[in-house]
Amino acid sequence: MFQAFQDGTFSPAFAASLIAAVVAVIGLLTVWRLDGWAARHSAKFTAFAAGVLIATAISLFPDAAAATPYASFFMLGGYLLLYLITFSFRNDNPEAFVWLPVIGIGFHSFIDGLQYGVLFQVDFYTGIAASAGLIAHEFAEGVILFTILRSSGISNKWAFVGGFFGAALTTPAGALLADSQMEHLSSEALGAMMAIAAGALLYVGATHLPMHIRNDTDRRPIIPMLLGVALAFSIQSMHHHGVDDDHDHHHSGQIEEPHH
Q: What is the pLDDT of residues 137-177, one digit of tens each?
A: 788 788 888 888 887 778 889 999 999 999 899 999 989 98
Q: Domain containing 126: what range? A: 45-211+222-246
More confidently predicted of 52 and 246: 52
Query: Nearest-CA neighbor of 26 among 115, 124, 146, 120?
Result: 146
Distance of CA 121 to the CA centre of its chain: 20
Phi then psi dihedrals of residue 9, to 5 deg: -75, -20
Three-class secondary structure of residue 207 per DSSP: helix
- The count of domains in the chain is 1
Question: Do residues 47 and 159 lie in contact, with contact meaning Cβ atoms separated by under 8 Å?
Answer: no
DSSP letter at 208? I
Specify if 26 maps to a domain: no
Specify if 38 maps to a domain: no
Specify if 17 maps to a domain: no
**H helices then E strands: how many in the chain?**
12, 0
CA separation, residue 101 to residues 66, 210, 225 (Å): 27, 12, 17
- pLDDT over threshold 60, residue 9: no
Query: Nearest-CA neighbor of 139 among 115, 167, 114?
Result: 167
Three-class secondary structure of residue 217 per DSSP: coil
Specify if 33 maps to a domain: no
Query: Nearest-CA neighbor of 121 among 187, 60, 171?
Result: 187
Specify if 236 maps to a domain: yes
Question: Which value, to the nearest 10 degrees, does the dihedral of the CA atoms of residues 60, 62, 64, 65 take?
Answer: 150
- What type of residue is 229? V
Specify if 72 maps to a domain: yes
- What type of residue is 196? I
- pLDDT over threshold 70, residue 8: no
Specify if 255 maps to a domain: no
Calculate mean pLDDT across residues 65-71: 94
- pLDDT over threshold 50, residue 101: yes
Kindly indicate the confidence band of residue 223, based on its pLDDT and cuts at 50, 70 and 90. confident
Distance of CA 251 to the CA centre of its chain: 29
Question: Do residues 51 and 205 lie in contact, with contact meaning Cβ atoms separated by under 8 Å?
Answer: yes
DSSP letter at 213? -
What percentage of the chain reaches a pLDDT higher than 90?
13
More confidently predicted of 182 and 103: 103
Phi then psi dihedrals of residue 69, to 5 deg: -70, -10
CA distance 71 to 198: 10
Specify if 116 maps to a domain: yes
